[in-house]
Structure 1
Amino acid sequence: MRTLVRPAVLRTPRGRLVYWSLLVVALLAFTVAFIIPLYWMTTGGMKSSPELARNPPTYVPEQWHPGNYADAWDELDLATYFGNTIVLIGGAWLLGLAVQLPAAYALSKLRPRFGNVILGLMLITLMVPATVLLIPTYLTVSDVPIFGTNLINEPAAVWLPAAANAFNIYVLKNFFDQIPNDLLDAARIDGAGPFATMWRIILPLSRPIIAVVSILSISALWRDFLWPLVVLPDPAEQPITVYLQRIADTTSLNLLIAGLVLASIPLVAIFLIFQRQILAGLTAGSLKG
């Protein structure tokens, strides 16, 4: 096996010292690069507004105000906008799985006619910048073809574009390709149809990759700002990311930063809870027969 450092070098005392020294330095550098922004954000929410505006800034708050977080929660009415965010993300996530799982299963195992052409057209959409698709997508949700429905200020305006995610379909299809067809043939012999095969065979084996796709979708939807801002002009319907930007000019800086910290906590918590599933899905590439 070829590596950057020869095994013979690693067996020498000097080689091990250099290797571990560089590894520790690199890990510390990356850790500091990630922790410093989190530290500034968290401590910024505990400072007073005059201290936040001071130049040069204070690295440690002169007076700690942890109550800023409770004040931000109450005064900014964050519970309402957290609820809006959960509705938008939960609906988009469920609808996305309902669309992406069958689509990936069909392209991988049912192999329809012109399936490769369909997959190629889907992948082409990944090469188009999101800003280029903004106006066509807006015109589509403002007057849905065939139905003639206006979805502006409706959660479906966020759900439908999020469900049509070519990247997630491609990732799921690649994972489904690794599942042996012998399992599907055995299910067909037992009388299972395509839907039963997907539900009873494919999905239970695909929990790691479904977890990865779910986390990627949820994090992308939680961070999304431009699309909810465009299709949800009614302030009462907006998610927390849009709401905090809207009130930025009229809110004290320390409460605004405290609100941003609170808005970031769910994503961090989701990663910490599901990190094992995420790593399992990223490293899953084959199945034992």
Structure 2
Amino acid sequence: MSRTLISHAQLQRGRGRFLYWALLGIIVTAFTLIFIGPLYWMVTGALKSGQELAQTPPTLFPRDPEFTNYIDAWNNLNLAKLLFNTIYYAAGAVLFQLILDTAAAYALSKLRPVFGNVILGAMLATLMIPAMVLIVPQYQTVISLPVLDISLLDSPFAIWLPMVANAFNIFLLKRFFDSIPEEIMSAAFMDGASPLRTLWSILLPMSRPILGVVSIFAVTAVWKDFLWPLLVMPSQETRTVSVGIYAFAAGTPQNVVVAASVIAAVPTVIIFLIFQRNIMSGLTTGSLKG
């Protein structure tokens, strides 16, 4: 029997059982309100009029729900174009990360190049650098790409290329590859399979859960990012949904802006609800060897 903070005998007693379930209920309810509260406030705020949204103290429920706010947000803020741009950037980020980060993790885990541990340590050290510190050098690189001397402003590569260098995803993939028994690799090499064929035919089919996690991380990173797309996508035609909503917010009623935020959040919520099992299995798979 596993040991816990509260003994099994105490949980069987009337008072101990009541205190345990009461405390558990309070904690679960509190955390549920903390996480669901802002979402509820956003959804209900999009149904209020401008006056009711700015009212103090705020109302808990909309007095007269205005579903036309969502229609106005879709039409006035050109959300179809903004969502298409964001989906396009997210798809490219997923593709680049799956190809390049997987190759890097496979090399570090199974091919073990010279100074591989030094390279991995240097990559992990970049996780300690605040992202804001890298904004200026990354922007200088984008406006004048070294050697080629070309500008990537308003180009999707300005978003894709910085996302490829993701040390966390490489480490996550490497840990998963480390959990795959070496006997599988040895058997593949004895059958004449090249390292690339082994990766494609054996490791990748086994890595679907962790590849799903990396894909979700890439999509959410593009979807929620604001400052970097604001800098490298100045044109109205290339904006992401977060930058587009911000750009139109000044001359748009706040209830319509909130409705646009709800629409922008729906795709990521749907993706999470569909792939939540893959996310949990991918994060736990490979945590233990054997």
TM-score band (shorter)?
A: over 0.9
1:261 correspondence with 2:259: no
Task: State how far apart, in whole Å, the 2-side matches of 1:193 and 1:142 are.
Answer: 40
Per the alignment, residue 240 of structure 2 pairs with 239
Query: RMSD across aligned C-alpha pairs, in angstroms?
Result: 1.4
Q: Deviation per CA, 1:256-278, whole angstroms, max 9, x where unpaired?
A: 11000000001110100001101
SS at match of 1:269: helix
- Residue type matched to 2:160 in 1? W
Instruction: State whether residues 144 and 151 of structure 2, in contact with CA within 8 Å, keep that contact through their aligned partners in structure 1.
Output: yes
- Per mean C-alpha deviation after superposition, the further-off stretch among 197-206 and 47-56 is 47-56
Note the 1:99-248 alignment, pairs <5 A.
99-248=100-249
State the one-letter code of the partner of 2:7.
Answer: R
Q: Distance in 1 between matches of 2:208 and 2:7?
A: 38
Letter in 1 for 2:198: T
Distance change (3 Å), C-alpha of 1:284 and 1:258: same
Asked if structure 1 preserves the Cα contact closer than 8 Å seen for 2:77 and 2:244, the reply is: no
| 3-state SS, counterpart of residue 56 of structure 2 | coil
TM normalised by structure 2 equals 0.96
Within 1, Cα distance between the matches of 2:30 and 2:135?
38
Name the CA distance, whole Å, in 2 between partners of 1:285 and 1:196: 22
Percent identity of paired positions between Structure 1 and Structure 2: 53
- Structure 1 Cα separation of the partners of residues 148 and 193 of structure 2: 35
On the 8 A contact 1:229/1:242 being kept in 2, the answer is yes
Distance apart, 1:287 and its partner CA: 7.6
Q: Which residue of 1 aligns with 2:15?
A: 14
Which residue in 2 is equivalent to 1:48?
49
Consecutive aligned runs of 4 or more in structure 1 exceeding 4 Å deviation: 286-289
Amino acid at match of 2:144: D
After TM superposition, give the deviation of residue 5 of structure 1 in Å.
1.7
**Offset of 1:288 from its aligned partner?**
8.3
Partner of 1:284: 285
Deviation of the 1:13 alpha carbon: 3.2
DSSP-derived class of the 1:247 partner? helix
Q: Deviation per CA, 1:210-258, whole angstroms, max 9, x where unpaired?
A: 1112112211211000000011111211101001111111111111110
Q: Tell me the residue number matched to 2:74.
A: 73
Give the drift of 1:11. 3.2
Distance 1:287 1:121 in 2: 25
**Correspondence list, 1:51-62, <5 A:** 51-62=52-63
Q: What SS class does the counterpart of residue 237 from structure 2 fall into?
A: helix
Deviations 1:115-156 (A, max 9, x none): 001001111111111111111111112222222221111010
Does the CA contact (< 8 Å) of 1:108 and 1:177 recur in 2? yes
> Across the two proteins, how many residue pairs are aligned to each other?
289
Deviates more, 1:5-14 or 1:268-277: 5-14
**What 5-or-longer segments of structure 1 have no aligned partner?**
none
Partner of 1:84: 85
Aligned equivalents of 2:125, 2:245: Cα separation in 1: 34
